[in-house]
Every structure is written in structure tokens, then in C-alpha cells.
Amino acid sequence: MAMQRKSLTFTQAWTFTAGSKLHSSIGSNIVIQKHQILVCKIGIWIAALSPGSWLVAGLFLGWLGPNPVETLTHITGMTTLVLLLVTLSITPLRRITGWNGAIRLRRPLGLFAFFYALVHFNIWFVFDQVFNWRWMVEDIMERPYITVGFSAFVILIPLALTSTKGWMRRLGVRWTKLHRGIYFAATLGVVHFYWLAQSKADVRLPLLLGLCLSLLLLYRVPGWLERRQRMIARSQGSNIR
């Protein structure tokens, strides 16, 4: 009974824009939902901005040590990967808890992930490549570790650009397809980190991230298979007709 009620309120809150029959108790639930989302969003902003603030402060106050660029590169890269994984955990979170409001957190999380990827790339371009395009291209072409990292970044660019409601509406089904790119970006990102860590013989962190990513991707496999089967069934049905 309690379970049923719970799922009912969640569903209502999610579909309220569709103009389903609202009565007063559900209306107050919507207020609570909005409140929850706002609180979560504030939490995301604070959490996502804290590594960046820590780095900027450290850069000026000198607690990043004798090689600050190493720390800057490492932390921005790590934060990108963690945020990508958190973004990918929204769908499982939604399904497991039944809290559909979680979907509203996906965009800010994804955009923060892109923000850190952009900073990470720029640190590399400015401090490691010293604005030299030739060196940069050479690195991307010759070193697979850079190639995969750079590819992950490139994949994220259109996702960030089309993250607005307008683009979502314009692209329709294609939007969903395009944004599956995050699976590739996250995978390439983890491989990039793994290869670097391999050079330093300490692969514990990339392995941990890889494990989390695998779980998040595995969680989606039954859904993909089901959808595929439904599609096959539908096409077969149309063939018979």
C-alpha cells in the first residue's frame, strides 16, 4: 500500500506538465519535488565547483606544490571522469528509487563534466603544448593515450552544445541517439586515465573508475536488449502485414 502510494506521487510529479488530474495533496507534492530538485541542484553546484575553487585558490596561495600544472591537470581530469560517471548514474538512480525528478539533475551534471574537460584540455594546450598547434597535433596523432583523451573531449562538445531544451525539441529522437555519445566519451576517458596511470605503475584509481563505469553500462544492457527485441518484433510484424 505504502509502496503504491509512493510510486504514484513520483509518477504524478514527473508527468505533471502533461496536465493530469491534480488535486490538492498532489499539488503540495509537486512543491516538495521542486524543492528537492532545487536543493539537489544547489548541492551539485557546490560540489562541482569545489575542486575548481580549490585549484584556483591553491594556485594563488601556493599549496599545489612545485609543479602546480601536474595537480591542475590531474584534478581537472579526475573531476571530469567522476562527473561523467555521476551523470551516468542518474538513470539507474531514477529507476531504482523511482524518483523521476532526478532527470532534471542530469543536464547540470553533464555540463559540469564538460566544463572540467574543457579546462583540462586548455591546461594541456597552454602549459604543456605552450599554444603550439604543431606540437599539439603531433601529440594527438602519435600518442594513443592523447588520441583517446582528445577524442573523448571532442565527443563531449556537441553534447554540451545541444544540451538546451530548444535543441532537445529540434532533434527529437536524434537527440537521444546523439547523447549516447557519453558512453563512448566516458569509456575513452577512463582508458586515457588508465594508460597514463600505467606509466606510473599505479592503476588503482582508473581501475576503480573503470569498475564503476562497467556497472553503470551493464545496468543499461537489459534495457537495450529489450528495446532491440521490441524493434525486431515490430519490423517483423510490419513485414507480415
What residues line the site for other proteins (CB under 8 A)?
A: 65-70, 127-130, 135, 138-139, 142-143, 145-146, 195-196, 198-202
Pick the closest to residue 76 from 126, 125, 118 (CA basis).
118
Under 8 Å between Cβ of 29 and 8? no
Joined together, the cell numbers standing for residue 38 give 532545487
**Which residue lies nearer to other proteins by CB, 60 or 235?**
60
In angstroms, the Cα distances linking 84 to 30, 108, 231 are 28, 11, 29
Pick the closest to residue 210 from 229, 225, 195 (CA basis).
195
Under 8 Å between Cβ of 105 and 41? yes
Helix (H) or strand (E) holding 187: helix 181-199
Q: 170-185 burial string, b = 16+ CB within 10 Å, else e?
A: eeeeeeeeebebbbeb
Written as one string, the DSSP assignment of 126-179 is IIISTT-HHHHHHHHHH-HHHHHHHHHHHHHHHHHHT-SHHHHHHHTHHHHHHT
Minimal distance, residue 203 CB to other proteins, in Å:
9
Minimal distance, residue 113 CB to other proteins, in Å:
23
**Which residue lies nearer to other proteins by CB, 201 or 221?**
201
Minimal distance, residue 159 CB to other proteins, in Å:
27
**Which residue lies nearer to other proteins by CB, 175 or 195?**
195
- Non-local (6+) Cβ contacts of 129 within 8 A are 135, 136, 139
**Which residue lies nearer to other proteins by CB, 146 or 188?**
146
**Which residue lies nearer to other proteins by CB, 62 or 158?**
62
Minimal distance, residue 127 CB to other proteins, in Å:
5
Minimal distance, residue 197 CB to other proteins, in Å:
9
What one-letter code names the amino acid at 210?
G
Minimal distance, residue 219 CB to other proteins, in Å:
31
Minimal distance, residue 133 CB to other proteins, in Å:
15
**Which residue lies nearer to other proteins by CB, 1 or 201?**
201
Question: Using N-to-C axis directions, what is the helix angle for 24-61 and 106-123, rounded to 10°?
Answer: 10
**Which residue lies nearer to other proteins by CB, 154 or 196?**
196
